[in-house]
Amino acid sequence: MKFIVVTGGVMSGLGKGITAASIGRLLVDLGYRVVPIKIDPYINIDAGTMNPFQHGEVYVLKDGTEVDLDLGHYERFMGLELTGEHNITTGKIYRRVIEKERRGEYLGQTVQIIPHVTDEIKSWIREVAKKKDAEICLIEVGGTVGDIESMPFLEAIRQMRIEEKDGNFLLVHVTLVPLDAGGEQKTKPTQHSVKELRELGLYPDIIVGRCKEKLKDSTKKKIALFCDVEKEAVISNEDCDIYEVPLKFREEKLDEVILKKLRLEKRERKTEWEEFVKKMRELKEEVDIAIVGKYVDVKDAYLSIREALKHAGVHLGCKVNFAWIDSEKLENSNEVELNYDGILIPGGFGKRGAEGKIMAIRYAREKNIPFLGICFGFQLAVVEFSRNVCGIRNASSSELSESGECVIDLLPEQKQIKELGGTMRLGEIEVTIKPGTIAHKLYGKEKVFERHRHRYEVNPEYIPKLESKGLVFSGWSDSKRRMEILELPTHRFFFATQFHPEFKSRPLFPSPPFRGFLESAFGYRKERRDGKI
């Protein structure tokens, strides 16, 4: 078993997750079985209750575990489907240790960070790697070297390095190489970061320098000299599209350095990722998509949606331009003017900005603009249709208001739940699709599995009235108890899903709803450009 550990220094947000995912992609392309693990040093059990303004989106795995968005990068880059065991948090580790102590498994010992917590961390990593029959286990340690929260994990990594045989362990350290006012690449932050890493007993084998521009040869020599690594092991990671990073690393011969240091054979390389990036670089057409949400100031809150649209765009040969529309500001405006090729309403929770989203949905429906609703967007599409087509003026969701007619409501079992964390309808669930519908045309099958993260449902009492006015529920689950997909056949493209199709979109395999939405938006753009509408 080989282990590659990715750490970060200087500052957060440098792109450790993309670096780890890109290393994984290089190794997958060479035919190696890679198992990624993300370590999040926060005390939370999972990311489910975290504020998107602080943390970005909450990504949902197939088993329903709510995790950090970096695991989404792993799945997209490596073409994997992960579960909760691939995400370690301080909360999970301490819960395990405390449960063992309560059961008396430590035989009366004083339970301490070393060895009990560090042993639990190492045991978790090795168990997952062995269970998944990995050739290479790729571990990203979240946070920044020097953070007090990361100390137990870095100590566990230090111990693993000693315990593993020579040639089985590799440490990749990601640092910042900023430019000064004169445009000179400065290496001092990297030197200090490596010094801090060494004080913990860890020595980097490879240094990845994040910079606005490609690292100069002189910069690499200086980092190599002061940080005690070979010059070939100083890798430039300049600003570029995230899907180009694996190819940039290959140009830097990072894959060759890894193979050499881990004593791995060079295998025949797949080229499908190169072909995807080549197509992405050659996009000539464009399409403008408005994303109407309440977290638009933090683009990572909708990261998977953004990437799913990019995947579909590359597949269709068009670049996607994003317009981020604040639903709260829209709610307070006197009129709606959304002159875009398509309108997308993403998931979300709570009353704030909900009426603005409803206004955008009505605008898309009445102006016959391609529309895609995801989760909360699906529910609000039902509310909008109920109010403005079915004539139920006080239609609402019980999430927004207990008064009025709740066309969206909690099912009885959900009303009994008081805790917030991990209590929604989560993970991959089978959805049945009605033949002859738009949904069936997009998916090409009658049974699909999609990932969920929601608590409220379409109220079954109102379904007959909604359908009598032309709304089609073309997908359902739980023996037709829960509606999963809606569409308007008379509309250019009016489609919404209760589930989150963006979580299963991959660069090489775009999500069907996103592909259908973007195809319609692109067609709408061409019609307008040609003066047909």
Annotated catalytic sites, by residue? Answer: 375, 500, 502
- Tell me: cis bond preceding 507? Omega within 30 of 0 counts: no
Per the CB < 8 A criterion, the answer to whether 51 and 80 are in contact is: no
Per the CB < 8 A criterion, the answer to whether 60 and 66 are in contact is: yes
Find the DSSP H helices in 282-373: 303-316, 327-331, 354-367
Report how far Cα 384 is from the mean position of its chain's Cα atoms: 29
Alpha-carbon distances of 453 from 66, 238, 253, 435, 504, rounded to whole Å: 9, 35, 40, 26, 13
Q: How far apart are CA 135 and CA 259, in angstroms?
A: 12
Q: How far apart are CA 454 and CA 348, in angstroms?
A: 9
Which DSSP string corresponds to 33-69?
-EEEEEEE-SSSSSSTT--HHHH-PPEE-TT--EE-T
Per the CB < 8 A criterion, the answer to whether 205 and 263 are in contact is: no
Sequence-ordered list of residues with C-beta below 8 angstroms from that of 419, at least 6 positions apart, any chain: none
Find the DSSP H helices in 173-213: 188-199
Q: Go through the chain and tell me how many residues it has.
A: 533
